[in-house]
Chain A
């Protein structure tokens, strides 16, 4: 689970995976905006279960009205964006069930969005989900971790807060 450590002055935040599946490099995302890290640094997760959970206690800074993307803000101000699938905005919410609203306070592990992996694939969209820091200026340095991940359990990003 979430481990928040204070080393001398700088706080380090360990962000656990919000999804179960496999974490890979952002460069594997078939969308230059994410692959080139223009959207922010982080990992991409190929989900095996269609459930996105909160990686830490926080506030929903924004949930897109079509429920395919959500930004969660940690008390430190750091914001994590999870964008389910690529170009899935075009599905207009079909296949996505949102469980939170913008402004909601959430607990680590709480279900934020459920989504139908088969439906997204059938519609022709990659289901790979970038999980990135939306406001990179809050982070001094970060390290990403790859491989099989379990939602709420496996650390995918270790961020040293600025």
Chain B
């Protein structure tokens, strides 16, 4: 499943929220998680990949989750993307 979120943090997806995403992804072993911005898609397992998106405040980022726990992963990681401050 996929859903698009608007980055809520004023500071964008910097190191800390990026790591939160990577750690969240690890919890869903049977689920593939990708992030996509401006047509660029990255696997969300790697901190570098997530940072490479360079997602800033107000950017639209699509979260793609595929697998057993696609919905739970979508909820948890989506919340990090939309969160106002971190």
Contact = CB atoms under 8 A, between A and B. Distances in A.
A90 B11 CA distance: 7
A71 B49 CA distance: 11
Interface in B19-54: 19, 23, 46-48, 51-52, 54
B48 A89 contact: no
A83 B54 contact: no
B46 A39 contact: no
Given A64-B14, A89-B11, A135 B54 contact: no
B81 to A, nearest CB: 17
A39 B48 contact: no
Give chain A's interface secondary structure class: mixed
Interface residues of B, number: 12
Interface string A27-45: 0000001000011100000
Given A39-B16, A64-B14, A89-B11, A81 B47 contact: yes
Interface of A: 33, 38-40, 61-62, 64-66, 69, 71, 73, 79, 81, 83, 89-90, 102, 134-135
18 contacts: A61-B48, A62-B48, A64-B14, A64-B15, A64-B51, A65-B54, A69-B14, A69-B15, A71-B48, A79-B47, A79-B48, A81-B47, A89-B11, A89-B14, A90-B11, A134-B47, A134-B48, A135-B48
Given A39-B19, A64-B51, 16 more contacts: A33-B16, A33-B19, A61-B48, A62-B48, A64-B15, A66-B14, A69-B14, A71-B47, A79-B47, A81-B15, A89-B11, A89-B15, A102-B52, A134-B48, A135-B47, A135-B48
